[in-house]
Structure 1
Amino acid sequence: MRKPNGYGSIKKLSGNRRRPFVFVITKDGKQKAMGYFCSQVEAEIYAADFNKKNNKILHGHEIIFSELFYRWLPFYIDKHQPSKSTINSYHNSYKHCLSLHEMPLKKIKYYHLQDIIDTVKRKGLSYSTCKKIRSTLSLMFKYALMMEYVDKNYVMLLNLGKNKQKRPHKPFTRQKINKLCSNLNIEGVDTVLILIYTGMRIGELLELTKDNVYLRQKYIKITKSKTKSGLRIIPIHEKIFPLIQIRMQTPGKYLICRHDEKPYNYSIYCTLWDKIMLALNAKYTPHDCRHTCATLMDNAEVNYNAKRKILGHACSDVTNGVYTHKDIRQLRKAINKIK
C-alpha cells in the first residue's frame, strides 16, 4: 500500500550495521532521520506511532502479524519481567510462524494457526515446542483483543495432538553422582552437581547473580524464573556449599561465568554440558538434574511441601514468596536429608 504524502519513508542503509533501518521525514525540503532500527518491522511500528501522534494516520493501515509481535513483546516484558530464556523462547516461537509474518491480523483464521502447529510436528519437533508456540500465540492474541486489533481469538482451539516423549527424563544414578564428585577437575562438573542438589532449572542457574547467593545464611534466592512459583528460596546443600564458595570467589557478576566473565547462554552451556557427558561417558540432559533432585528427595522422604518449595512448584502454603527464618531452617534440614 502506497503511503500518503508527508508520511515519511523507511530506508535500509548499506554496510554491516547493528541498526540498518532508518525512518526519515522531509522537513524544510531536507530529509531528517527520526530513528534507527534493527528490523523493518520495528521501523514500521515507529513510523505508524509517529504519524499517529502528528495526526497523519495512514487510512486503511492493517496491522500485520509481525507488527503485533513487536508491539506485544515490549509491553509484556515491561509488565511481567520474564527471564532471558523465556524471551528467547518467544522469539523462537515467532520464527516458527514465518508464514504469518506478513499477514494482516484480521485475515488470520483458525486453519492458518493450526497449520503452524501441524508444520512443526511434521518437521519432527517436540510437543514442548508446539506448546511454546501456542503459548506465545495465546499471549499475542490476548493483547490484540485488548488493543482491539482483532475481535476473535482462535488460539484456544488449536490441537497439539498427544504428547509422545522421544526421550523420557531419567535421574542420575548414584554411581554417576559419585563419578561427578570424583571428577571435579573437569570444567563445569561443579555446575552439574549444583543443579542436582538445588533442583534449579538450567535457566535459573545461568541467570543467577552473586548478589542473590547468601553464603552466611546458606541459601540462594531465585528472582527470575519461568513461573511465578519458581521465585523462591533454595537452601544450599552441604555437599555443594564448597563448590559455590569457590564460584563466589571468581570474577564476574554471575555465579556461573565463562572465562571472559560473561554469563553463559543456554546454547553455549549445552556445548560445555556435552563435553562433560562425553568425558564421563554419560547420557543425560540438564533437565535430568531437576528430576534427580526430586527423586533424591522422594527417596529421603522429604516433606511434600518442602519438596515443592525447593523445586518451585505451585504450593498452597506459600504466601507471596515470603519466607521466615523458620521456613529457611526447615528447608535446609529437608535438603540435607539427601546424600
Structure 2
Amino acid sequence: MRKPNGYGSIKRLSGNRRRPFVFVISAEGKQKPVAYFTNQIDAEIFQADYNKTHHSRSLPAHQITLEELYHRWLPAHTADTAPSQSTLCSYENSFNHLSSLHHEPFTSLKYMDYQRIIDDMRKSGLSYSSLKKVRSLISLLSQYASKIELTNKNYAPLLSIGKNRQIRPHKPFSRQKINRLYNIIDAPGVDTVLILLYTGLRVGEMLALQKQDVHLRQRYISITHSKTAAGIRIVPIHHKIFHIIEARMKSPGQNLITDDTGKPYDYSRYCTLWRSVMSMIRANGHTTHDCRHTVATMLDNAGANETAKRRILGHAGGDITERVYTHKGLRQLRKCIELLR
C-alpha cells in the first residue's frame, strides 16, 4: 500500500548493524532520522503511532495483522508481568508456529485458521506442551485485542489440543543410584547432580545461581531467577551437600556452577555434562527434572509438611489460606529439607 505524502518512510541501512531499520521524516527539506529498530515490523508500528500522535491520521483501510498485534502486545505484556527469559523464548517459539498467519488481519482469523495450525503441529509430532503454549499465546493476543477494542472474539478456549500423554513418565532416582554418585563424587559434574537432588532446584535455577545468592553462614540459597513467581524463594543447604557448595564457592567465575575456566553453563552444554554423569552411574534415561521428582517423593515418604515442601520446590500454594496466611521461616524449611536422606 502506497503511503501518503508526509507520512515518513522506513529504510534499511547498509552494513552489519544491531538496529538496521530507521524511520525518517522530512524536515526543512532534509530527511531526519527519528528512531532505529531491529526489525521492520517494529519500525512500522512506530511509524503508525507517530503519525497518530503528531498528525492525527492513520493509513486508510489499515488492518492490524497478527504480526503487528504480537509486536504491540509483547512490550505491554512484558512491562506488566516481567516474564522470565525462558517465558519470552516460549512466546517467540509459539509465535513462529503461527508464521502462516502472521500477515493476516487479526480480525479476519477464525477458529479453523488456528485449529489448522494446532492439527499440523500434532501431525508433525510436537509435544502437548508446545500445543498448549501456542493456544495460550492465542488467548493472550485475543485478550489484548479486546483491551484495545480491536475485537472481542477469543477462539482459544475452543481449540482442541488432545490429551497429555507422557512419552516417558518421570521417575525418582533410587538410593543405589544416589550412592553411586557419592562413590564418584570427584568426577566432573557429579556434584551438580547432588545439588539438584538435595535442593529440588530446577536446572535453570541452578545454572542461574550467582555466588552472591549463596549464604554459607546462614546455610541457605536465594533463588532470584525462576520460571514462576512462586519460584523466587530461599532453599536451605542440606548438610550432605554443604561441602560441595563450599567447594563451588571457591571456583573461578561469578556463577556458582561453572567449568574449570569460570565460564557458566547454558542448558545445552549442561545437558552434555548431565548425560556423561548418568552414563557413569548407569542411569541413562533419567532427566534433570527427575531430581525434583526425587526430592518431592522422598519428602512425601518422610511425612514432610506440605506447605514447607511447596516453599522448597517453588510451587504455588494450594489454597488462599496457604498462599496468604501461612509463613514458613528458614528454621521450618531447614527441618523439612533435612528429611532427605
Q: Per the alignment, in what secondary structure is the counterpart of residue 150 of structure 2? A: coil
Q: Per the alignment, in what secondary structure is the counterpart of residue 162 of structure 1? A: coil
Q: Where does the alignment leave 5 or more consecutive residues of structure 1 unmatched?
A: none
Question: 8 Å contact 1:210–1:253 — kept in the other structure?
Answer: yes
Q: Per the alignment, in what secondary structure is the counterpart of residue 35 of structure 1? A: strand
Q: Where does the alignment leave 5 or more consecutive residues of structure 2 unmatched?
A: none
Aligned-pair CA distance for 1:154: 0.9
Return the TM-score normalized by structure 1: 0.91
Aligned-pair CA distance for 1:105: 0.9
Matches within 5 A, 1:1-339: 1-55=1-55, 56-258=57-259, 261=262, 263-281=264-282, 282-315=284-317, 316=319, 317-319=321-323, 323=327, 327-339=329-341
Aligned-pair CA distance for 1:254: 3.0
Range with bigger deviation, 261-270 or 140-149: 261-270
Question: 8 Å contact 1:232–1:321 — kept in the other structure?
Answer: no
Distance 2:48 2:268 in 1: 36
Say how many residue pairs are matched: 337
Q: Compared with structure 1, are the counterparts of its residues 318 and 60 closer, same or farther at alpha carbon in structure 2 (3 Å cutoff)?
A: same
Q: Per the alignment, in what secondary structure is the counterpart of residue 198 of structure 2? A: helix
Q: Compared with structure 1, are the counterparts of its residues 103 and 329 closer, same or farther at alpha carbon in structure 2 (3 Å cutoff)?
A: same
Q: Per the alignment, in what secondary structure is the counterpart of residue 240 of structure 2? A: coil
Distance 1:158 1:225 in 2: 29
Q: Compared with structure 1, are the counterparts of its residues 184 and 45 closer, same or farther at alpha carbon in structure 2 (3 Å cutoff)?
A: farther
> Counterpart amino acid of 2:168?
R
Distance 1:150 1:159 in 2: 22
CA deviation map 1:281-334 (0-9, x unaligned)? 42211111111111121222222222222112222454569856xx21111111
> Counterpart amino acid of 1:212?
D
The alignment's C-alpha RMSD in Å is 2.3
Distance 2:227 2:175 in 1: 29
Q: Per the alignment, in what secondary structure is the counterpart of residue 198 of structure 1? A: coil
Q: Compared with structure 1, are the counterparts of its residues 98 and 179 closer, same or farther at alpha carbon in structure 2 (3 Å cutoff)?
A: same
Q: Compared with structure 1, are the counterparts of its residues 245 and 257 closer, same or farther at alpha carbon in structure 2 (3 Å cutoff)?
A: same
Distance 1:111 1:224 in 2: 38
Q: Compared with structure 1, are the counterparts of its residues 265 and 148 closer, same or farther at alpha carbon in structure 2 (3 Å cutoff)?
A: farther
Question: 8 Å contact 1:199–1:311 — kept in the other structure?
Answer: yes
Percentage of pairs with the same residue? 54
CA deviation map 1:136-169 (0-9, x unaligned)? 2222221221122222111121111111111111
Q: Per the alignment, in what secondary structure is the counterpart of residue 45 of structure 1? A: helix
Q: Compared with structure 1, are the counterparts of its residues 138 and 258 closer, same or farther at alpha carbon in structure 2 (3 Å cutoff)?
A: farther
CA deviation map 1:251-283 (0-9, x unaligned)? 434333456655433333323333333444422
Q: Compared with structure 1, are the counterparts of its residues 216 and 140 closer, same or farther at alpha carbon in structure 2 (3 Å cutoff)?
A: farther
Distance 2:97 2:325 in 1: 35
> Counterpart amino acid of 1:283?
G
Structure 1 residue ranges (4+ consecutive) displaced by more than 6 angstroms after TM superposition? none
